[in-house]
Amino acid sequence: MNRFAKIISIAGFVVLAGCGGKGDDSAGDNVADNADAVADAMDNRADVLENQGLENQADALENQADATRAAGERQEEAIDKADVNATATNSM
C-alpha cells in the first residue's frame, strides 16, 4: 500500500471514530475531498515530470493519484455506511 493510501485510510478511520451516527454524509465527503486534493497535487506534479521528459515517472505518479482517489472513495463509502448503521443502532 502506498504512503498516500495509508494516509487516507488513517484519516478515514479518525473521522469514522468521531462521526457519532448523525446520518449525514459530510464526514465521508470530507475524506473523499481530501483524497481528491492529494491526487490533484500528484497529477500536477506528474504533468511537470512529463514536461521534463520523465514519462515513466509521470505515469507512475498518475497511477498513484488514481489509487489515492479510489482509496478516498472507498473510505467515504465505509464512513457513510458506518454512519447509517450507527443511526439505525442508536434508534433502537
- pLDDT digits over 46-90, tens only? 999 999 999 999 999 999 999 999 999 999 999 888 865 554 444
- Which candidate, 66, 61, 64, 71, places its Cα nearest to that of 7? 71
pTM score of the predicted model: 0.66
Which phi-psi region, left, alpha or beta, contains residue 21 (left: φ > 0; alpha: ψ -120 to 50)?
Answer: left
So where are the chain's domains? 3-85
Query: Chain-centre distance of CA 70, in angstroms?
Result: 7
Which SS3 state, helix, strand or coil, does residue 20 take?
coil
Contact criterion met (CB below 8 Å) for 42 and 70? no
